[in-house]
Structure 1
């Protein structure tokens, strides 16, 4: 698990910009102040955060002291749940139409200002959100609302076209350049939901459009490394999809949230997200949507190291995709195709230590994707370079990395930059070779 994840202690110290050593030194100082001999080190803190060890009673008292946790909080919550946690008001609104609009207000007012790079939607919090999505009855507000202005069908159609354009622009340019556009359109949808008269069918459609836009904003925030922001958007997207009554749309939100979770969080939580989505859509899905969910589940299982279950999920995805498209496939599923399954399969093989198979899948998918999918090409060319390096083929890895670098200048994506940075690190042991030195120099320019 990479960028700061499930244990509440990680979140508590990152909210204060404390490193593991910074927390350890504060605990040692607090111990001296209290006349207690404390030997806490960075290694100790790491053991706590990875659930390998739990602090003893006196050390928990010192932890409460340095985080200024009141005794009343410790009396009602067990360790480590009494530690400070990020304030996320949209988690506490009711799962009603009014609660969805209030959550929209919250996330649009403060979501993008939240620059924290850790995730908070895990464990009990995640379980609660998923349970509410599965069990709450969809609730649509009365048709009459606001000041009496009427929403025109043409306006709702126009928003739908702009959403489709944004989705495809994101494939090309990455989220960094587009999130302001998506948020602006989302603000328009919120104003229509709050201040206009609309039929129930129109309001369902507007809530679905809000869910689509919130999902995009979450994806774009994740793409630029703002993980707390991304999860806030994904959480409200799930609410909006629920209010619209579109269970497949909610499943799509969870599928994208799962990518973030297995990338920078706990892959087991990502598996729970996907399995919840699969439960919700059973009997209502299409083969394409079910194939997408199975492939995302495979990625989570590969990240968790469960090869056997991963292979089963990949086989299921391939079989489902082979059943072909249906007239009732959602419009947002346009990108689910064999190339996408091959890309995800290659990534699974890489995670499971099978680089030759990974390279074969990456090559097939890279050839199948059109040139407009710039970010996708950067991501998987970088992964292909990793697979080639694991097979000691430095020349091929340099060729793949060079192609990725050529494309990276045309896309604003933190994930793409991170992939290139990772490949550059892996190439450092070969830096005496001229081709490698060239790649490292170009990578420094891109990742600076």
Structure 2
């Protein structure tokens, strides 16, 4: 089968092929075991595996259950190509070596990959060079540069390396980067980070990736210890910026890969940057919540809280993390645990002292987390609880609490924070649907849609899409029908799940 000129549909991480159980499945030519390990360690669905290896999902299912066995060399060749197997893996199957672009950097016998060596300075820099190069070169119809989304214990165990002490890197001489050039690199990073407040796609995203690629190549050259530390910090910030852009566009595998690379770079930057790492973990927890995986989000929140305690993070940071924790409980349908975290978050903001002073002490990634933001988040989570209740009385009480908190957020939020206001308005509109007030729901959602037209935020559009789905039951209400029609023709026009809805 001829190799595709575009990026592969599904590419497991390099460490996957170094695992003993994966090598065993190849040695035994057990495709069912191999597919099962792909699901276990990468979270790939049968559909994703089938798309990669050019098999129908029922065929994949039959192989995994042992009802069918792969024996034909041609089929194994298709599997190897689809999964981008490295050369050593192919040799085990009796196949020709992989193309150099896919096999470079993969060590078949080096078990340290499996044990966390990917968190070393050299591997971190190499991996960033590799993913940025693929990301810049990938075609528009190619799959995410980050490969498959990692979930469950595999994700948590990967992130736990963040808490381990860093192995001190030896000094590397004077280096090639001077103070003035380093300051210019850091200033450019700040400018690129500000783009993330609005621009997340197209040439602007590629500009951030290009800068990240350039800096990662500088790290591969000998630099003094102080310069190396600051370069890794720059790589971490750029990686997080690309991750948030990918997250906003809905490309979750790529976002997760860049978030993890940001953590690995911060690990090399040293303890002085641990507080920024807390922000990366908080963003990863937020991503898991967007994907409706509250268990994974809760595990990441606990890692973030441990890191915040170790770094002596200010109360505002810990309050924000408690809201992420509470969000997880709300998604799990655990109202008492949720209420406990709300009280903890409110108490932490109260002990933080005057809001102006606490805001100065908190790192910039908190995104202006204040009492207004807390009210908006708490209100949205009460809506989640309301939607999960079967008892009409409990459902109504949670919805009323949601409306009260979100209304307070809208009253107190800084008008300049348009994206936060848009989230509040959509959340309030969804709450009004639960309270059986469709006209009020349509009124506030129309305000959110007006804001989104100037924001170009993928996440806001997805929340508007949620309202569109939930409002279908009220499509005969004239106000609701008007807003639904406007959304389907404008902001949600290209979303396939909107077309054809009643």
Cα RMSD over matched residues? 3.3
Deviations 1:271-327 (A, max 9, x none): 111101211232422212211211111112211222222222222112112213456
Q: Distance in 1 between matches of 2:183 and 2:416?
A: 25
In 2 relative to 1, CA 267–334 (structure 1 residues): closer, same or farther, beyond 3 Å?
Answer: closer
- 2:458 matches 1:414: yes
Deviations 1:99-132 (A, max 9, x none): 2211211221235744389962222321321222
Return the TM-score normalized by structure 1: 0.78
Say whether the 8 Å CA contact 2:322–2:342 is kept in structure 1: yes
Give the drift of 1:261.
0.8
| SS of structure 2 residue aligned to 1:285 | coil
Say whether the 8 Å CA contact 1:288–1:320 is kept in structure 2: yes
Q: Distance in 1 between matches of 2:281 and 2:314?
A: 16
In 2 relative to 1, CA 174–345 (structure 1 residues): closer, same or farther, beyond 3 Å?
Answer: farther
Return the TM-score normalized by structure 2: 0.70
Give the drift of 1:425.
2.0
- The 5 A counterparts of 1:31-430 are 60-62=65-67, 65=70, 93-111=117-135, 113=138, 114-115=143-144, 120-140=149-169, 142-144=171-173, 148-153=175-180, 155-173=181-199, 178-195=204-221, 197=223, 199-245=224-270, 246-283=273-310, 284-322=312-350, 323-324=352-353, 325-326=357-358, 328-353=361-386, 354-430=398-474
In 2 relative to 1, CA 190–419 (structure 1 residues): closer, same or farther, beyond 3 Å?
Answer: same
- 2:58 matches 1:24: yes
Give the drift of 1:27.
5.0
Give the drift of 1:11.
3.0
Q: Distance in 1 between matches of 2:146 and 2:176?
A: 41
In 2 relative to 1, CA 16–377 (structure 1 residues): closer, same or farther, beyond 3 Å?
Answer: farther
Give the drift of 1:65.
4.5
In 2 relative to 1, CA 105–64 (structure 1 residues): closer, same or farther, beyond 3 Å?
Answer: farther
Say whether the 8 Å CA contact 2:146–2:257 is kept in structure 1: no
| SS of structure 2 residue aligned to 1:447 | coil
Give the drift of 1:62.
3.2
| SS of structure 2 residue aligned to 1:171 | coil
Identify the residue that residue 447 of structure 1 maps to in structure 2.
Answer: 492
| SS of structure 1 residue aligned to 2:220 | helix
Give the drift of 1:345.
0.8
Gaps of 5+ in 2: 1-38, 81-88, 90-102, 107-112, 387-397, 494-502
Say whether the 8 Å CA contact 1:151–1:196 is kept in structure 2: no
Q: Distance in 2 between matches of 1:311 and 1:384?
A: 20
Give the drift of 1:217.
1.2
Give the drift of 1:407.
1.4
In 2 relative to 1, CA 277–27 (structure 1 residues): closer, same or farther, beyond 3 Å?
Answer: closer
Deviations 1:27-56 (A, max 9, x none): 57x7xxxxxxxxxxxxxxxxxxxxxxxxxx
Say whether the 8 Å CA contact 1:255–1:293 is kept in structure 2: yes
Q: Distance in 2 between matches of 1:158 and 1:240?
A: 19
Q: Distance in 2 between matches of 1:157 and 1:288?
A: 29
Gaps of 5+ in 1: 31-58, 74-86
Deviations 1:252-280 (A, max 9, x none): 11100111111115211111111012112
Deviations 1:409-442 (A, max 9, x none): 1222222221111212222222223322221121
Q: Distance in 2 between matches of 1:315 and 1:227?
A: 31
In 2 relative to 1, CA 142–386 (structure 1 residues): closer, same or farther, beyond 3 Å?
Answer: same
Give the drift of 1:202.
3.0
Say whether the 8 Å CA contact 2:129–2:217 is kept in structure 1: no
In 2 relative to 1, CA 104–349 (structure 1 residues): closer, same or farther, beyond 3 Å?
Answer: same
Say whether the 8 Å CA contact 1:267–1:300 is kept in structure 2: yes
| Larger RCO of the pair (alpha carbons < 8 Å, separation 6+) | 1
Match of 2:45 among 11, 22, 42: 11
Deviations 1:352-381 (A, max 9, x none): 112221122222223333343333332232
Q: Distance in 2 between matches of 1:369 and 1:177?
A: 32
